[in-house]
Amino acid sequence: MTETLTRPPVNTPPPPRKPTKRRRRAVAEEPGKRWLIHVPLVVYLLFTLIPFYWMIVFAVRPTGSTQLVPWPITLEHFDTVWNDIGFGIFFYNSVMIGLGVLVFVTILSTMGGYALARFKFRGQRVFLLALLCTQFIPGAMMLIPLFVIFKGAGLLNSLTGLVIAEVAFQLPLALILMSGFVRNISYELEEAAMVDGCSRMRAFFAVTLPQLKPALVAVGSFAFIGAWNQFLFALMFASRQDKFTLPVGLSYALGEFNTDFGALAAGGVVAAVPVVLVFAVVQRFLVQGLSAGAVKG
């Protein structure tokens, strides 16, 4: 180590340059200024992370403490929200709804996305147009008719009802995304399999589905995150506390426990951890997925 450090730079043999490397250097000019990229990055990281940090600090330090670096940490607030306020139940409800929506959105959007990408059929353009238009339908403004429908169907205060409503609202965008993914997978292998005597369905499961794995991860986690965070339907359609989801429970905590910041923060951590973890794992698939055609329609 020291030898390389103390060796005068004049003696260093010039590294062999491949042509590609020279071209890359041409782009990365002004090498002295490259560290500047870290200035906005650090500023933005602070903006992002300080609020998270504040929540965690409130969640783990004893009531009344004002330490910024909490030590010793306490789990009393988690005990309060999980057992006394009922976040254990809310957590269960949110997981069930999130998984339900994930399963249905993934399966139905794969079916529909495949249909859009691989077939030409009468009414296709109208269907695609309808899918696009749903992006402009405000959930809040559908509350009244949906409430009437749900009441009529006996789906108020049921997790099933919330799953159905959320699937209906998420499916159009998921389907558009999925058809973009399917279109990016070459059709030739699938065709070859069919020429070899596979049914279309077998060809799909054997050839195309394995290549769709990143798409399934992206669409599924998108659906899970959306369902996990759904607030308005859950607030409107679940009035019984044992059917509350985490966002509804949190909004309740915001109103009722204004002063108990520890409990509020602990509830926030419970609500944030699963979804932020899911997101951290899948965010690069999301970027790919969006470039596969969501924005371009």
Partner 1 sequence: MRTRTWAPYALIAPTLVLMAVFLVYPIGSVVYYSLQRYNVTQPWKNGFAGLDNFKQMLFDDPLFWQSLVFSAKWVFVEVGLQLLLGLILALVVNETFIGRGIARALVFSPWAVSGVLTTGIWILLLNPSTGIFQELSELGIGSPGTSVLGNPDTVFDALVVTELWRGVPFFAILLLADLQSIPKDLYEAASVDGASRWRRFTSVTLPHLKDAIILSTLLRAVWEFNNVDLIYTLTGGGPANQTTTLPLYVARQAVDSHNFGYGSALTVAGFLILLFFSILYLRLSKFGSRA
- Residues 185 to 244 in contact with partner 1, rule: CB under 8 A: 200, 225, 228-232, 235-236
CA distances from 166 to 96, 178, 181 (A): 13, 18, 22
Q: Binding segment for partner 1 among 7-15, 75-83, 143-151, 208-216 (CB under 8 A)?
A: 143-151
Q: Binding segment for partner 1 among 3-11, 44-52, 76-84, 208-216 (CB under 8 A)?
A: 44-52
Asked if omega into 72 is within 30° of 0 (cis), the reply is yes
**Cβ 83 to partner 1 shortest distance, Å:** 19
**Cβ 161 to partner 1 shortest distance, Å:** 11
Neighbouring residues of 132: CB distance < 8 A, sequence distance ≥ 6: 172, 176, 297
Neighbouring residues of 202: CB distance < 8 A, sequence distance ≥ 6: 193
Considering only the C-alpha atoms of the chain, give the largest distance between any 2 of them, rounded to a whole number of Å: 85
Q: Binding segment for partner 1 among 2-10, 50-58, 69-77, 82-90 (CB under 8 A)?
A: 50-58
Angle at 96 between CA 91 and CA 99, to 5 degrees: 120
- Positive or negative, the CA dihedral 261, 266, 271, 273 is positive
Which of 85, 167, 216, 219 touches partner 1 by CB under 8 A? 167
19 binds partner 1 (CB under 8 A): no
Which of 238, 260, 275, 285 touches partner 1 by CB under 8 A? 275
Q: Binding segment for partner 1 among 2-10, 73-81, 83-91, 253-261 (CB under 8 A)?
A: 253-261
Which of 21, 45, 73, 88 touches partner 1 by CB under 8 A? 45
Number of amino acids touching partner 1 (CB under 8 A): 102
Q: Which is nearer to partner 1, 48 or 241 (CB)?
A: 48
Q: How far apart are CA 274 and CA 28, in angstroms?
A: 39
Length of the chain: 297
